[in-house]
């Protein structure tokens, strides 16, 4: 795991090497073990290395081919690198690293090399003789890659803050992305909060030469659905799910450094730890955050798994005061603003301090195995299309009445749903996770006509509701929305930036593309969550104790409401003022919302204001202009 930086066409820079050194210095936390640069008349490359596989200095980067005709910078891990290496018997390898395998694969298969890789990655390769640049990102977007393209030069980096160290990149907020952030506490790829800076989309590559530029997909789940389960019994499907998940876990245990696992005591993390224990020849190190409030703590469930699998278990006990003390560091470690993330920062810090450099996570289990409430709720809406037989005017009247009788955020979302043009997933799903509705955003920003909803665009582009040829099961369409919105743009980004703030690598077995392709094709009747994540639980059988499968939902949250009204009040006011001073939010509307929050208004909750505080802090900390 590392950090990469690059500049294509350096002709406008006075000192390309100095610029590159500034970029890699900014993300030293991503790879403190080694750093290096490569600069010629056309490109500048920089790399920060966190050594995980092959710790020798010969695997440091930028990495040169034996004949010095190809230069590689690579962030991530290729889990099947040994198999690829064996398939290239004529290639003379000089190291034992997956880094060299990436370069060898490119020299053998060209841009098609990406189809050979099972892993998480973002990399760039410069062909010295042909003067071509190839950049690629993994299928699920586990590893980030930010791109700035001004039609003359291309600047790219693993982090947006590092990217902004390049003089070609202007630190200016993107106004449309600002609205997206207000809606969802994040910005959806390909856009970012910074104007002109985009993310290379998951499963895409860029090819650049003197006279050609391509930004193309090489993988899309809709085109790679595995239909094997169509001809299988449920028993066979369960065996296939367990087999594929076991292989995924085993692949992700390849490392030359100490590793462990995050163990919350929930189904997903418990499944990963159970399978790690099956395939590992030594006790697994597990880490759990527990709270002083025992009634809300998941620690007792983590202990059940730790005891069953005899793990080397570490319980990180936290009080709200401990969490509060870490909050400034967590916010400073944030590479891209987010309404979430401090939890990941704290567990990553404790895990790293325990001597672990790589950890496995259960991230992705909910999205793949229908773990969220939206899955059964979306299915239930399929039976309510009769509501749309009423004229839109009648539905609006019903909505107004509901708002009067029950003035809550939930009611607002129900009204939005029943007044949509169609009761189809791309139309009502965007309402599910929206934090501030468009009416409130217009009041806060003074913008009359808001930009198109990014989540609606993702759904409409990824799910053609009228196409009979779109053969994925309905629950898989919900998975598509979850994976391409909340998972990709919140969970994965937060996990990367908060873990790498501590130079900790996190691997996610549920996001193995071969597993996803298979489960995505499984029929709804096998995946419907009659019980929590039924298909996953059934597939693992006795590996998961009943106490874990049938455990109650935990209700603990940190006392954000009280903190923001007391210990964090001055901090909140200062950073909300930053947004007002930048003329991003209307002063009267914002302070009216803050006043309603202080008075306990149920529509002005802490969760609607805290992301604004974070954004104000991030813009000030990173000197971003309007």
Contacts of 73 (CB under 8 A, 6+ apart): 4, 5, 6, 38, 45, 46, 47, 61, 62, 63, 123, 124
At 316, give phi and psi (nearest 5°). Answer: -95, 105
Catalytic site includes residue 2: yes
**Cα Rg for the chain, rounded, in angstroms?**
24
Contacts of 88 (CB under 8 A, 6+ apart): 104, 105, 108
CA-to-CA separations, 324 to 126, 343, 346, 566, 606, in angstroms, rounded:
45, 11, 11, 12, 15
> Residue 250: how many CB atoms within 10 A of its CB?
16
Sheet containing strand 146-149, strands side by side: 34-39, 43-49, 2-8, 154-157, 146-149, 197-199
The tokens describing 342, both together, are: 């401090």
Query: Nearest-CA neighbor of 145 among 76, 214, 211?
Result: 76
The tokens describing 349, both together, are: 């810090």
Choice among 2, 113, 166, 572 that is catalytic: 2
399-409 burial string, b = 16+ CB within 10 Å, else e? beebeeeeeeb
> Residue 559: how many CB atoms within 10 A of its CB?
15
Crossing angle for the helix pair 392-405 and 409-418, to the nearest 10 degrees: 170
Contacts of 325 (CB under 8 A, 6+ apart): none
376: left (phi over 0), alpha (psi -120 to 50) or beta: alpha
Spatial distance between the Cα atoms of 402 and 422, rounded to a whole number of angstroms: 20
H/E run at residue 273: helix 267-279
Beta strands, E only, 50-94? 63-64, 70-78
CA-to-CA separations, 588 to 46, 433, 446, 591, 593, in angstroms, rounded:
46, 26, 11, 5, 9
Residue with token string 């703590």: 297
76: left (phi over 0), alpha (psi -120 to 50) or beta: left
> Residue 152: how many CB atoms within 10 A of its CB?
10
Residue 491 CA neighbour count, 13 Å, CB half: 18
Question: Contact, 78 vs 98, CB < 8 A?
Answer: yes
Query: Nearest-CA neighbor of 44 among 133, 129, 151?
Result: 133
Question: Contact, 209 vs 193, CB < 8 A?
Answer: no
Query: Nearest-CA neighbor of 199 among 483, 433, 493?
Result: 493
Residues with catalytic function: 2
């Amino acid at each position: 795991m590392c950090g990469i930086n690059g500049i294509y066409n350096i002709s406008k820079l006075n000192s390309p090497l100095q610029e590159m050194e500034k970029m890699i210095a900014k993300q030293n936390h991503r790879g403190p073990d080694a750093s290096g640069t490569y600069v010629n008349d056309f490109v500048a490359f920089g790399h920060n290395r966190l050594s995980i596989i092959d710790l020798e200095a010969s695997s440091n980067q930028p990495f040169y081919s034996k004949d010095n005709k190809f230069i590689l910078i690579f962030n991530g891990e290729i889990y099947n690198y040994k198999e690829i290496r064996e398939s290239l018997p004529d290639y003379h390898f000089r190291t034992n690293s997956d880094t060299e395998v990436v370069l060898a694969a490119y020299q053998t298969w060209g841009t098609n090399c990406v189809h050979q890789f099972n892993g998480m990655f973002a990399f760039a390769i410069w062909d010295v003789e042909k003067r071509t640049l190839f950049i690629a990102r993994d299928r699920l977007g586990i590893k980030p890659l930010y791109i700035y393209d001004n039609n003359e030069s291309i600047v790219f980096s693993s982090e947006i803050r590092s990217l902004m160290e390049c003089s070609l990149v202007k630190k200016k907020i993107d106004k449309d992305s600002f609205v997206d952030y207000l809606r969802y506490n994040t910005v959806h790829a390909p856009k970012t909060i910074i104007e002109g800076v985009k993310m290379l989309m998951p499963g895409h590559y860029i090819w650049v030469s003197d006279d050609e530029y391509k930004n193309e997909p090489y993988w899309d789940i809709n085109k790679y659905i595995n239909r094997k389960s169509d001809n299988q019994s449920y028993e066979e499907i369960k065996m296939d799910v367990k087999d594929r998940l076991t292989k995924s876990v085993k692949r992700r245990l390849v490392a030359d450094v100490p590793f462990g696992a995050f163990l919350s005591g929930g189904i997903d993390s418990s499944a990963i730890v159970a399978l790690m224990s099956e395939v590992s020849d030594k006790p697994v190190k597990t880490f759990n955050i527990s709270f002083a409030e025992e009634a809300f703590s998941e620690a007792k469930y983590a202990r059940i798994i730790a005891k069953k699998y005899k793990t080397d278990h570490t319980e990180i006990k936290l009080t709200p005061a401990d969490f509060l003390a870490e909050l400034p560091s967590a916010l400073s470690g944030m590479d891209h603003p987010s309404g979430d993330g401090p939890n990941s920062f704290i567990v990553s810090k404790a895990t790293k301090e325990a001597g672990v450099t790589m950890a496995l996570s259960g991230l992705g289990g909910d999205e793949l195995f229908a773990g969220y409430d939206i899955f059964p709720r979306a299915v239930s809406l399929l039976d309510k299309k009769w509501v749309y037989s009423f004229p839109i005017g009648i539905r609006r009247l019903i909505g107004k009445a509901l708002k009067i009788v029950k003035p809550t955020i939930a009611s607002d979302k129900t009204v939005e749903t029943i007044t949509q043009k169609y009761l189809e997933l791309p139309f009502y799903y965007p309402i599910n996770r929206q934090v501030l509705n468009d009416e409130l955003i217009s009041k806060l920003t003074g913008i009359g006509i808001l930009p198109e909803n990014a989540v609606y665009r993702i759904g409409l582009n990824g799910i053609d509701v009228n196409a009979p040829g779109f053969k994925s099961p309905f629950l898989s369409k919900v998975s598509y929305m979850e994976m391409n919105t909340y998972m990709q743009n919140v969970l994965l980004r937060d996990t990367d930036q908060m873990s790498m703030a501590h130079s900790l690598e996190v691997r996610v077995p549920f996001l193995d593309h071969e597993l996803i392709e298979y489960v995505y094709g499984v029929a709804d009747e096998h995946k419907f969550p009659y019980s929590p994540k039924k298909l996953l639980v059934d597939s693992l059988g006795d590996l998961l104790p009943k106490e874990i499968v049938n455990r109650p939902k935990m209700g603990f949250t940190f006392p954000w409401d009280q903190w923001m009204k007391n210990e964090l009040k001055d901090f909140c006011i200062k950073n909300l003022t930053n947004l007002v001073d930048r003329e991003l939010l209307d002063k009267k509307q914002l302070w009216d919302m803050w006043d309603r929050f202080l008075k306990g208004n149920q529509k002005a909750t802490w969760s609607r204001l805290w992301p604004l505080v974070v954004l104000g802090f991030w813009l000030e900390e990173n000197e971003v202009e309007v």
